[in-house]
Each structure stands twice: as structure tokens, then as C-alpha cells.
Amino acid sequence: MTVGILLLVHNAFGRAEQVARHWVKGGCPVVIHVDKKVPRETYDRFVLALKDLDTVLFCKRHRCEWGTWGIVAASQSGASLMLDRFAEVRHVYLASGSCLPLRPVRELRSYLDARPQTDFIESATTADVPWTVGGLDAERFVLRFPFSWKRQRFLFDTYVEIQRKLRLKRRIPEGVVPHMGSQWWCLTRNTLTAILKDPLRREYDAYFRRVWIPDESYFQTLARLYSPQIESRSLTLSKFDFQGKPHIFYDDHLQLLRRSDCFVARKIWPHADRLYEAFLDPSEQAMKGAEPNPGKIDRIFAKAVERRTRGRTGLYMQSRLPHEGWENGFSSAPYSVFEGFADLYEGFEDWLARETGTRVHGHLFAKDGAEFEGRQATFAGALTDGVKIRDYNARRFLTSLIWNTRGERQCFQFGPADSQIITWDLAKDPNAQISVISGAWAVPLFLANEDFALLRAEAAALQKIESEHLDALRSPHAKARIRIWTMAEFLEAPAEALQTVIDEFPGSTGRKLTEMPRMVDLTGFGRFLQNLKNQGMDPYLMGDFPVEGAPRPAATPLRRKRYMIR
């Protein structure tokens, strides 16, 4: 007993001939169906080329178009011819001209000999398969599809729409439960005969003729009626991408295919010479009689689909520029933004780098240029510190920086003296961890020895900017991990506050800070604030400070004080 190969061919005739010869050499009769669209001369040449083999037959030709009945008609004609003419055939294997046997033919034969009653056909009810393309799953069995999806898309879509609107539904023949699955099956003589000789075949054919993609459902459904034993999987390795078109195998897949232990793979690029040489080589070693195991190939193709549909988060490039809101995340990795800390602590950047082992920058968005770690002029990815280039596309500057340093956490300082273009992007980015000591920008002013009128003006400007920034951080659109202390609140328990922030760094849970950074001397800060007030400005973002003495502020909550005239 043997297996008969039914080959559907529409192009790459040289390859089809090679494969047909390979099957014949392995003792399998072959019936070939050539698409009717193929010109007469090409067909004749192909027939002539295989003339020397008497176990290769050509069946009646049908016009095959994707998603239409032609492919089923072709399989029916081919299968009938096969069963009539080759009595030794117990299984019929449906394959295409671009399928390639991966294991020696005798292995397939002995595998099937050991399972004489089994039909290998992937067959599942529509409710159970997630892989339909175009949103038509159950509907493909109850609507009519007289138009071509490829050539007459408008008519196709309109007609579907009309049927939906009018709630037209076809009657499914009695006893038939629609099933779907891969079109590449391997059925036993008994099952096939039962399907082809069924007294109700006319009715079934008439029904399936108007079903969409009947080649994925005709045999899959009818086999359920007759098969004593269905193994619901295809012996052909065939992977589909997100548009439902088969992935193609090339020379560089050779090892992968070897290790898959599958019997037949589809679809092979016709110019993949190495694959054809390797797998059609008669001296090809037996694979060890293992069960097919396409796991690794599955993963590679699943990843390809994922890349095409979801892409790499935080990457913006020539073939990925998502609309706002469709990025699957603004940046590629978590990072930390510190506001006010560097004003309050001397050497804060170095301290943070030592404590956390992360990359700590200065003010990346400083008005006179990006302050990269160590104040270098360039940084990862060859980003430069120039203002104009940075501000020309500040978003890309930030996302590039995070992308370029994947695997290494970035921290940077931010404040009201910086360029604020990036405010909303920071606030909305779930990857941003933003810690703010509000009002700390006043400390450098306090320490500066400048004309007080100038300081007062600057303080007013900075306070306005920071207040707007805080509005963004507090808005309902903000998705970052945000912590805001007023300076007064922070000073009540600075170590605790720092510890909370650092605890959120990866790998630092439960680790106590070994040393604290050195805080600037704030003696007289309260007086400084009072002087600002005396000049008519209301510095409220830092919270309440006593006018005299060291800054040991009372635990008063942030409350904006109104001007009071005495």
C-alpha cells in the first residue's frame, strides 16, 4: 500500500516537475492538476516533460482563484482519478507545486502504514479558530460569495453588506456542521470515496460552491461525516502571516526545516536552490522517525507577525511612525526624572549614580544644551548636546536616548529653567518616574549673590513655569509615576523620601541607602523667601518656611496664601 500525491500546480513548473519525480521515485503515484489559467503551450510543455513517468497523470483542469470553488473542484477531479487508476493507494496527500517533502518518502509511507485508518485533516468549528482573516468566520457559511475577493473587492464587500442588512441567511444542508482548517490534507481512500460518492454530493457541492474559501472547509466539514478517525492537524508545515498569506521558506531556513521533522513544507521560494538540492537528494539521511515538531518555526513566524502588527515599543523609524496614542508606549524603557533634587543637594548626580548604578545626566533639556553624563558633547547613538538639534525634535531626542541605551536605566534632572517642550510627553509616559521637590528652584537663587530685583523677577518666572508643569503632572492625562513634595514637606523627612524613590529602581528593593547626599546650607532661606514676599511676590510652591532660624518647617499642608494687606 502506498500514498498517492495530488499536486496542485499553477507556476514554477520546473520545481513541480522535480518534486513529482521525487515522489515517483519514492514509490508514490502522482496526479497533477494544472490551473486552467496557465496557457496551453506551457501546459503542453509541462505534460511532455513528465511523459516518461507512467505513474504521473494529469486530471481535468479547473480555473483556480484564491477563495473560490475551483480549488475544491480540482481536488475532487484529482482525487477521483487517483482512486480510479491507482488501486494500491490507501492515502491521498494533497500538496501544491511549491510544497517540498522534507523527509524521505519512505518515512512518510511507513508513518501512514502504521496509521491505516487515520485521516490527517485540520478541522475545527468556526467558534474555535482565531485565525480567520477579514472578519468573516461564521458568516462564510451563511452568506453567498459570488464575487472575487481579489478582483472585485468592491462588489464582494457591498454584497456582503447587503446580505447583512437584509439579514439574508443560507440554509446549511442537514447534518452538516461547518468545520475549517488548513487546505492541505491527507485522507484515506475510504473517507475520500465516501465523500466523492455520496448520494447527496450534488447538494453539498451546490452549497459549498457559494461558501467563502471552500478549500478550507469542504473536505474539512465532510470528513467529519465519514471518517472513523480524524487526526485534526495537517502533515504539511504551512505558516500564515497576519494577512492570511503563507510564509515563504528560503535557503537560510534549511537547518530550521531539517530540525522540524515535518513531512512536507509549504511554501518554498522557487529559487531556493539549496533547499531543493538538500531535500530532494536521494541520499538524504532519515530523520529518526520522530513526530513532526514545528515549534521553533512557529515561534519565528509568530514573532514576525508580532513585529508587523505591534512593532518594537519606543522605536520610531522609517517604517514605524505611529499616530499619537498608537505607539504601544511612548518610550522603550523606564527612566527617572528628578526635579529640584540637584538644587537641594550638592553632587546629587554623582551620589545617585553611586547609589543606583544607573546612568545619571544633568539637565537634558537645559536652555543652553543637553547636559549628558560627565558633560560629554555626544552620547549614545551619537546624540549631540547642541540646543538647536535637540529642540528641532525634542520628542525624538528623548525617545532616541532611551532607545539607544536599552538595558541601562537613564536618570536626568529637569526643572523650570529648562526648555519645557517635553513636559506633556513626560507626564503622559508610563515609563517615566517623575519625582518633584516643588519650589527647590529657589535655592540657587537664594545662594546667588545678585541684584535682588533681578532675582525676584526670575523667581516669579520660574514659579509660573513650574506651576504649569505641575498642572500637567496632576492632569487626568498624566500616566507617569509621579511624586510631588513641596520643599517644606520634603525637608521634614528627606531620607525617607529619597528611599521611596530609589526603592522603585529595579533590583534595589529593600536596600537601604548607604549614605545621604550633602544638602546645601539653608540658613537664611526663610528670610530670603520673606524678602521675596516683601517685594510683592508670593513664593508658594515650596510650602511654608519660618522667617528666621534653620529651616525646620512646621507640618503644614500645601496651601496657597492669599495676599494680605496690613
Is residue 386 a contact point for another protein (CB under 8 A)? yes
CA dihedral 535, 538, 541, 546 (to 10 degrees): 70
- For residue 132, the minimal CB distance to another protein (Å) is 18
Lookup: cell for 150: 481579489
Q: Which amino acid is at 221?
A: T
Is residue 168 a contact point for another protein (CB under 8 A)? no
What span, in angstroms and rounded, lies between the C-alpha atoms of 114 and 234?
A: 17
Near another protein by CB under 8 A: residue from 21, 85, 209, 312: 312
Which one of 127-135, 377-385, 434-442, 501-509 is the stretch in contact with another protein (CB under 8 A)? Answer: 377-385
Backbone angles phi, psi at 345, to 5 degrees: -115, 140
What are 188's strand-pairing partners? 91
Q: Is 436 helix (H, G, I), strand (E, B) or coil?
A: strand
- For residue 198, the minimal CB distance to another protein (Å) is 36
Helices (H), 64-183: 70-85, 105-113, 153-165
- For residue 68, the minimal CB distance to another protein (Å) is 18
- For residue 19, the minimal CB distance to another protein (Å) is 19
280-318 burial string, b = 16+ CB within 10 Å, else e?
beeeeeebeeeebebeebeeebeeeeeeeeebeebbbee
Near another protein by CB under 8 A: residue from 207, 379, 490, 525: 379
Which one of 110-118, 320-328, 436-444, 541-549 is the stretch in contact with another protein (CB under 8 A)? Answer: 320-328
What span, in angstroms and rounded, lies between the C-alpha atoms of 1 and 486?
A: 86
Is residue 240 a contact point for another protein (CB under 8 A)? no
Map residues 243-272 to x or -, x wherever contact with another protein holds by CB under 8 A: x-x-xx-xxx----------------x-x-
CA R_g for the chain = 36
Is residue 524 a contact point for another protein (CB under 8 A)? no
Is residue 65 a contact point for another protein (CB under 8 A)? no
Provide the 10 A C-beta neighbour count for residue 544: 19
- For residue 242, the minimal CB distance to another protein (Å) is 6
Contact 77, 33 (CB under 8 A): yes
Near another protein by CB under 8 A: residue from 93, 212, 365, 403: 403
Which one of 36-44, 71-79, 324-332, 550-558 is the stretch in contact with another protein (CB under 8 A)? Answer: 324-332
Near another protein by CB under 8 A: residue from 188, 358, 400, 431: 400
Which one of 48-56, 174-182, 321-329, 439-447 is the stretch in contact with another protein (CB under 8 A)? Answer: 321-329
Near another protein by CB under 8 A: residue from 167, 171, 202, 388: 388
Is residue 353 a contact point for another protein (CB under 8 A)? no
Measured between alpha carbons, how far is residue 299 from residues 132, 256, 296, 305 in Å? 19, 11, 5, 10
Near another protein by CB under 8 A: residue from 40, 171, 288, 310: 310
Which one of 79-87, 208-216, 296-304, 339-347 is the stretch in contact with another protein (CB under 8 A)? Answer: 296-304
What span, in angstroms and rounded, lies between the C-alpha atoms of 223 and 272?
A: 35
Near another protein by CB under 8 A: residue from 242, 374, 503, 523: 242
Cβ closer to another protein: 303 or 464? 303
Backbone angles phi, psi at 474, to 5 degrees: -95, 0
Near another protein by CB under 8 A: residue from 122, 137, 327, 489: 327
- For residue 397, the minimal CB distance to another protein (Å) is 8
Lookup: cell for 14: 520546473
DSSP string, 34-46: E-TTS-HHHHHHH
Which one of 107-115, 312-320, 447-455, 540-548 is the stretch in contact with another protein (CB under 8 A)? Answer: 312-320
The two beta strands, 2-9 and 89-96, are: parallel
Is residue 376 a contact point for another protein (CB under 8 A)? yes
Q: Which amino acid is at 270?
A: P
Helix 105-113 and helix 13-25: axis angle, to 10°? 60
Q: How many residues appear in the chain?
A: 566
Q: Which residues contact another protein by CB under 8 A?
A: 241-243, 245, 247-248, 250-252, 269, 271, 300-301, 303-305, 307-312, 315-323, 326-328, 376-384, 386, 388-389, 392-393, 396, 400, 403-404
